[in-house]
Structure 1
């Protein structure tokens, strides 16, 4: 029996959100300045008065826009080396280690950017569906190449990535409202399974 595993990343496999952690790791002084500038927007976001995707894109751009793809990839690899395995839930790592790679296809499906999640997905031998960073002439444009991979967008991306794939059962793991559509779509949706 072939299984399709779909793992949310932040909060499901990890103990905390990686967006702020990565940006702080990438450039801590720039991060502190930009974080203070964005506090009013974060408050409006919590009050649901702004769209998360636009604030997220703008905040990431305030730190990474214009950075070379090579530097971002180098920093992302260093981020992986710094935070693996300490960032991860122990039981999630144990579960992943027991996955029979011959009988499963596994994806990390995340709203986080592909640039910093890719080293983790590669380490786990998983495919990655993430919000994708746009690069122009080898530099980060400050924009997203795709829609924010959250909510219904997760399901849309899963359907595209698994078209023609043969599996008997899909099992999804998530921990927030942004994962509900994916959990509902899967044959088995496990909410906060590793918590």
Structure 2
């Protein structure tokens, strides 16, 4: 039986959101300064007066814009090495180890930026569907080349990737409202399964 597993990342497989963790890891001084400057935007987001994608883009850009791809990738690998497996839910690790890789495909479908999630996807031999960072001349522009991979966009990305391929069963895992379109679409879905 050919199965496709679609896993959300932050909060589903991990104990914590990795965006703040990675940005603090990358440059703690800049992170804290930018965090304080973004407090008004975080408040507007909480009050639903701003959308998450705008605030996320602004904050990530304020820390990483202008950085070279090679340095970001180097720090992403270091971040992975320093935080794996501690950041992962033990139940999730056990489940991932038990997959029958011959009969299954596993995709990591996340709103997090591809640059710091890629080492995790590689570790678990998963295809990565994430919000993608834009680089020009190997320098991060501060923009994304894809829409924020959350909500309906998660489902759009999965459908585009499937491209007519057939699976006997599609199984999805998530932990927030942003995962609901993916969970509702899958043949089998699990909400906060690893919590």
Same fold (TM over 0.5): yes
**Runs of 5+ consecutive residues of structure 1 not aligned to the other structure:** none
Structure 1 Cα separation of the partners of residues 97 and 132 of structure 2: 27
**1:163: how far off?**
1.3
Which 4+ stretches in 1 moved above 2 angstroms? none
**Runs of 5+ consecutive residues of structure 2 not aligned to the other structure:** none
Q: How does 1:53-64 map to 2 (within 5 A)?
A: 53-64=53-64
Q: Helix, strand or coil: the match of 2:22?
A: helix
Structure 1 Cα separation of the partners of residues 46 and 176 of structure 2: 15
**1:164: how far off?**
3.2
Structure 1 Cα separation of the partners of residues 78 and 31 of structure 2: 17
Q: How does 1:127-166 map to 2 (within 5 A)?
A: 127-166=127-166
Could you say which residue in structure 2 is the equivalent of 1:167?
167
**1:167: how far off?**
1.2
Structure 1 Cα separation of the partners of residues 27 and 135 of structure 2: 19
Q: How does 1:174-185 map to 2 (within 5 A)?
A: 174-185=174-185
Structure 2 Cα separation of the partners of residues 138 and 165 of structure 1: 34
Could you say which residue in structure 2 is the equivalent of 1:40?
40
Could you say which residue in structure 1 is the equivalent of 2:15?
15
**1:165: how far off?**
2.4
Structure 2 Cα separation of the partners of residues 101 and 139 of structure 1: 36
How many positions carry a matched residue from both structures? 195
Structure 2 Cα separation of the partners of residues 91 and 190 of structure 1: 13
**1:18: how far off?**
0.5
**1:189: how far off?**
1.2
TM-score, length-scaled by structure 2: 0.99
RMSD: 0.5
TM-score, length-scaled by structure 1: 0.99
Structure 2 Cα separation of the partners of residues 119 and 166 of structure 1: 28
